[in-house]
Amino acid sequence: MIRNFSDHAANERTFLAWVRTAIAVMAFGFLVAKFNLFLKIAARSLARGGAAPLPVPGGIFGDLAGLLLIVAGTLMVAMAAVRFIRTARAIESAQPHADGARLDLALAALLVVLGIALVLYLSHTLWTGV
């Protein structure tokens, strides 16, 4: 029997939850980037007879937001792996450990700022019709 099995099992479930969330964040970033690319291609194809392509509002923002979401998801996986190993060692250790959550909070703050930026961009796009 594995010593502290329930603690190790909880640690593994937490790790897997972080990985699933990170995959979802990366997939959303990929979707944002690819949809932005689709808009650029559609704008070029809708231009008729050598006319200038239609402007795509926020083209750079969409690319940057997608890239940042993919990077944030990748950081989440790396952070989850580090936390998994540290927690497994802490479970086996006889000494109590206080684990800091600074990196977790920084990543959460980054995602909140990116989410607010996406909401502002989409609300501006919907209200102005551009």
- Which pLDDT tens digit goes with each residue over 39-67? 666 666 767 666 676 666 666 777 888 88
Predicted local distance difference test score (pLDDT) of residue 41 = 67
In this model, does residue 103 exceed pLDDT 90? no
Q: What is the pTM of this model?
A: 0.70
> For the stretch 103-129, what's the b/e string if a residue is b when 16 or more beta carbons lie within 10 angstroms of its beta carbon?
eeeebeeebeebeeebeeeeeeeeeee
- Pick the residue with more confidence: 5 or 50? 5
**DSSP track, 46-59:** H--TTPPPPP-TTH
In this model, does residue 92 exceed pLDDT 70? yes
Predicted local distance difference test score (pLDDT) of residue 11 = 92
pLDDT band at 13 (very low <50, low <70, confident <90, very high): very high
Q: Among 88, 92, 33, 39, which Cα is nearest to 63's?
A: 33
* Domain count of the fold of the chain: 1
Domain range for 60: 5-128
Determine the Cα–Cα distance for residues 75 and 52; give it in Å rounded to an integer.
Answer: 40
CB atoms within 10 A of CB 66: 21
